[in-house]
Structure 1
């Protein structure tokens, strides 16, 4: 999360498990017509977990967008993954805290539960769970002796939930896959991605890092049958073509990577992905973004990515289904004009509500990002958009959400 960790261009990444053809242009991809804004709600930037611990002590004391750290309680911010619950609420994953390993030791990793109220445009904070390792599954030293996990231990950026109610979470410091029970307790040792090492990886020893900081598992899809995970790196692994991201396959029952992987090619090497979720066994929704915010934001898009590779160029086929900088708003939802934009640096959450409707949330990088209003920290915005076409999603995916 955070401005601090997004500014670098990723090291190099991706490619098929088999020999990949040369990276082709990202042009000449299909495009749907404009999405329409249906609903809008926002959780204020200065929302904190009631009665929690202080945070932000390593941010200094200078005001950031008018907010002066440290904070008396834990900020509810940095939404980097979202799950829909059957009762109309949502579980959202807060990422590592304030942008990097060095400044986030007092931020407690947490899954927040929220409920949007689209009539008044508000979001209720309904509780949540902290992520912990009470049974000592993590083999390296943790920040806290009570083994409550912090933003200096892991940078959690993607989340999915299996039929047994447990969570699989993607981390960027390893990158690792983390498996938690429904109470947020780690169930097993972190699962590393073979051959890939971020600079923060505590187990790499003398092995050089081949992935830039904050470029690990930013998105993670679950197959419709619930048997397989598809974690997507945010940045390029050293030696891979610029702008090519590895899309790996993980067998849940075997607790191991299958060795199969595909390539997601960014429109520009300096871009990044924000989330990835399944539509069916072959197609995925992927958020792709540039690093701009506010007036400098240009690329904030949702693609339908197909691993069948119809044009045989060695990459996932991409179809633009929603340009988040050009959303139709004929009903002036949220008090905005007829053209709505989502101009945030980091947009890291998408969830399917029905076959034609998506919810999209931003990671507000509290207190650092100010994409909506210069000089004011971004709220956690929650929008619902209607697509131009049906997704024709697998019915099991629709039921899951």
Structure 2
């Protein structure tokens, strides 16, 4: 579990006011743990038959079991454990039909540097809420059906997930059973959407709902697209509002602008009614990784430019590590191609995880498949978050 001692390290400089928002300094590494890349679900089905024989970063395919990988969403259960969501599997609809979509329960322990997998559950649709054909007759969901990239947990224990193939919102029970039909975003269709009917998609492949936020009052969801919708300004991402009581989009949306049109977002989470933490990253890994950041994005648009205001909270390629945690030097880098999980641990501490794209990504050590890493970082100033953000 994340120890209290690791979450209460003293910090450096105080915040400096900048247009009404704090100017955060350098974040500090307070915890590090990892799960080996070659970790598989015990007793599970074979997987990876459509990716080729490899080897990929020294690992041959296919695999005898389902890998515990691709962490694209995280839920803090507030008991030292976390739920993490595996995405579509191996990167495309075509090669992921034997990858079962799954939520894993993990327990990171920075004292030992290890992450323990406590169990988990597969996602399924036994009640036939999905109106289009699925890959499997038993209606266990696979990476050829959906690309689930984000997850939130509701007070009743159910989960909502954001998908990239529709893009759709998906509502699951506490054990992964789909509870209602997928909810589409009006006017937006990805190339994988089965209802294109010959029309052109207006968002790129794997550019659907990468982020999904539960409002602090639990009444709304805010899905954030990873890509720009055709016709919108390049680099502008739609951040829409969904009313959970009405089960409908409200028509209100905000605009998150990327620092570069070649960047992508990785995850988002609410800080209060107006402010959200957003991971923004480039596509590099290892030495080619140049931009991996966490921003505080504010919907109030104080400068009136029609965009969410952004304040840099943490540069994930320049984290202070005075205690040399994880065996790394005094500067810690999180140099992964896909960093897709952020969570509030306390008002000054964030948990951040990577999607290791098993077995393809090799950001930590060239030629070696990336592990699933779990870090906690302490910010140089408090967020002054709404207390409900920690539920």
TM-score by length of 2: 0.94
What residue is the counterpart of 1:225 in the other structure? Answer: 217
Q: 2:186 aligns with which of 194, 209, 212?
A: 194
- Are 2:313 and 1:321 equivalent residues in the alignment? yes
Does residue 282 (structure 1) correspond to residue 269 (structure 2)? The answer is no
The whole-number CA distance in structure 2 between the counterparts of 1:127 and 1:308 is 41
Q: Which runs of 4+ in 1 moved over 6 A?
A: none
Distance 1:203 1:397 in 2: 36
Mapped partners of 1:79, 1:36: distance in 2? 23
The count of aligned residue pairs is 371
**SS of residue paired to 2:374:** strand
Q: Do structure 1's residue 129 and structure 2's residue 93 form an aligned pair?
A: no
Match of 1:68 in 2: 60
State which of 298, 320, 325 in structure 2 corresponds to 1:333: 325
Alignment of 1:110 with 2:129, yes or no, is: no
Provide, for residues 155-203 of structure 1, a one-character-per-residue CA deviation record: whole Å limited to 9, x for no partner: 0000001111110000000000000011100011100000000000012
CA distance in 1, matches of 2:96, 2:174: 24
Q: Deviations over 1:333-373 (max 9, x none)?
A: 11100000000000000000000001000000000000000
Pairing 1:359–2:351 present: yes
**Distance between the aligned counterparts of 2:25 and 2:70, measured in 1?**
30
Pick one of 81, 84, 88 that aligns with 1:92.
84
Counterparts of 1:106 and 1:209 in 2: how far apart (Å)? 26
Q: TM-score, normalised by structure 1?
A: 0.92
Task: Identify which range, 81-90 or 49-58, moves more after superposition.
Answer: 81-90
Per the alignment, residue 207 of structure 1 pairs with: 199
Residue 48 of structure 1: which of 40, 48, 62 is its match? 40
The Cα shift of 1:60 comes to 1.0
Mapped to 1, the partners of 2:389 and 2:25 lie a distance apart of: 24
- Give the alignment's Cα RMSD to 1 decimal: 0.8
CA drift of 1:392 comes to: 0.4
Q: Secondary structure at the match of 1:384?
A: strand
2:47 aligned counterpart, secondary structure: coil
Q: Retained in 2: the 8 A contact 1:274–1:346? A: yes
Counterpart Cα distance in 2 of 1:86 and 1:198? 35
Structure 1 spans left out of the alignment, 5+ residues: 1-28
Q: What does the per-residue CA deviation read over 1:99-147, in whole Å, with 9 as the maximum and x for residues that have no partner? A: 0100000000000000011111000010001000000000000000000
How far off its partner does 1:247 sit? 0.3
Which deviations, in whole Å up to 9, do the C-alpha atoms of 1:52-97 show, x marking residues without a partner?
Answer: 0000000111200000010000000000000011321000000000
Q: CA deviation at 1:269?
A: 0.3
Contact 1:178 1:190 in 2 (8 A): yes
- Identify the residue that residue 4 of structure 1 maps to in structure 2: none
Task: Say whether 1:153 aligns with 2:145.
Answer: yes
Q: 2:8 aligns to what? A: none
Confirm whether residue 345 of structure 1 aligns to residue 340 of structure 2: no
Identify the residue that residue 166 of structure 2 maps to in structure 1: 174
Task: State the Cα distance separating 1:31 from its structure 2 match.
Answer: 4.0
8 Å CA contact retained: 1:51, 1:73:
yes
Alignment of 1:282-321 (within 5 A): 282-321=274-313
- Whole-angstrom CA distance in 2 between matches of 1:355 and 1:97: 33
Tell me the distance in 2 between the aligned counterparts of 1:304 and 1:207.
37
Q: Aligned partners of 1:379 and 1:117: how far apart in 2? A: 15
Match of 2:134 in 1: 142
Question: 8 Å contact 1:34–1:326 — kept in the other structure?
Answer: yes
CA distances 1:289-336 after superposition (whole Å, capped 9, x unpaired): 000000100100000000000000110000000000000001111110
**Alpha-carbon separation, structure 2, partners of 1:276 and 1:383:** 17
Distance apart, 1:32 and its partner CA: 1.3
Contact 1:326–1:339 under 8 Å retained in 2: yes
List runs of 5+ in structure 2 lacking aligned partners. 1-20
